[in-house]
């Protein structure tokens, strides 16, 4: 359950800014729950694993290498800015990441927003099937908006 940042008993995520009343409900624990749903291959979670991983990686840069974060941003941009099909975009990026010759230019570094994110994993409730697609999209779009603002 999200908590108030003013409450001294909260766990604060230094990466995304979410606050939690208990470490067992913190970002990594919730992401582990979401991954279990993704890996069950049930819908609506299974087909959206790439998006969930991408948005979590972008909001938690200390947990993932720069190449993963660059690919994550590329994926969200492809789907939410260019309207590409999720499965196609994920496949294209997997192929690109498998190419070990890909080098990162300094411009490829993904900035971390100074003001945090409007939506974090705590905003996705219990990942219930009825709301998950809309909640995931809201999380992805808010992350892209924060990254775009950090670029400016």
SS (H, E, C) the chain: CECCCCCCCCEECCCCCCEECCHHHCHHHHHHHHHHHHHCCCCCCHHHHHHHHHHHHHHCHHHCCHHHHHHHHHHHHHHHCCCCCHHHHHHHHHHHHHCCCCCCCHHHCCCCCCCCCCCCHHHHCCCCHHHHHHHHHHHHHHHHHHHHHHHC
Q: What is the pLDDT of residue 152?
A: 74
Mean pLDDT, the chain, rounded, equals 85
pLDDT in tens, 14-55: 899 998 887 777 899 999 999 999 999 899 999 999 999 999
Per-domain residue ranges of the chain: 43-151
Sequence-ordered list of residues with C-beta below 8 angstroms from that of 7, at least 6 positions apart, any chain = 19, 21
- Residue 119's pLDDT band, with cuts at 50, 70 and 90, is very high
Share of the chain above pLDDT 90, in %: 55
């Amino acid at each position: 359950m999200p908590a108030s940042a003013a409450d001294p008993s909260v766990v604060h995520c230094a990466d995304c800014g979410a606050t939690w009343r208990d470490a067992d409900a913190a970002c990594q624990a919730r992401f582990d729950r979401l991954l279990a749903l993704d890996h069950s291959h049930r819908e609506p979670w299974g087909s959206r694993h790439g998006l969930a991983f991408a948005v979590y990686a972008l909001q938690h840069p200390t947990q993932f290498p720069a190449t993963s974060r660059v690919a994550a941003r590329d994926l969200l941009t492809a789907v939410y800015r260019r309207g590409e099909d999720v499965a196609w975009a994920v496949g294209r990026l997997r192929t690109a990441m498998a190419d070990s010759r890909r080098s990162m230019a300094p411009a490829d570094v993904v900035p971390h927003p100074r003001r945090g994110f409007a939506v974090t994993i705590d905003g996705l409730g219990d990942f219930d099937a009825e709301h998950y697609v809309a909640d995931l999209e809201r999380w992805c779009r808010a992350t892209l908006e924060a990254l775009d603002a950090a670029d400016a």
